[in-house]
Amino acid sequence: MPSEREKMLAGELYLAADLELVTLRRTARRMTRRFNATTEDEADVRLEILRTLLGSCGPRLEIEPPFRCDYGFNISAGDNFYMNFDGVILDCAPVTIGENVLCGPGVHIYAATHPLGPEARSTGLESAQPVTIGDRVWLGGRVIVCPGVTIGDDSVIAAGSVVTRDVPAGVLAGGNPCRIIRPLTPG
């Protein structure tokens, strides 16, 4: 029988109150609390914490405190990833972030989701769907990326958008729900 962690990573319904998952989240909370308590003069300490917390990351990485995540180990960030203040990544499923990605302040990326039916939701079961963000993507301030979404390379998501569906490469998209506004020209 699969563990709750295995169910979570397989995208199946799982019990988030499982002791192993609670322990893993507490570890991430301790690490993010330590990260968030650093000062602007402790760039090396911040980087060391992030390299321990995240599943993988490129050589250049900057996340401004405060930052929150569920587990950390499901986050993969490419080289030259930047996340401004108040970033949140709920990484119950893999969250894959490409190279040269910029996130404005208050960007939230959610892999976690819950059943829509009230009876199923009241059981405490939840599920997760992977999120993929391509290379050279810019997520404007207060963007929310929902579970299961893929954003293609070179796209820009306008500030305040709620991305509920995949966004193709090379477009400007925005709104709630997010929709394609126009193609972007290279350069």
Report, as residue numbers or ranges, the catalytic residues: 114
Q: Kindly state the tokens that stand for 122.
A: 């009241």
In eight-state DSSP terms, residue 45 is H
CB burial class (10 A; 0-12, 13-18, 19+) of residue 162? middle
For tokens 């999120």, name the residue: 131
Give the full edge-to-edge strand order of the sheet including 150-151: 56-57, 75-77, 95-97, 131-133, 150-151
In eight-state DSSP terms, residue 64 is P
Are β-strands 125-128 and 14-15 bridged in parallel, bridged antiparallel, or unpaired? antiparallel
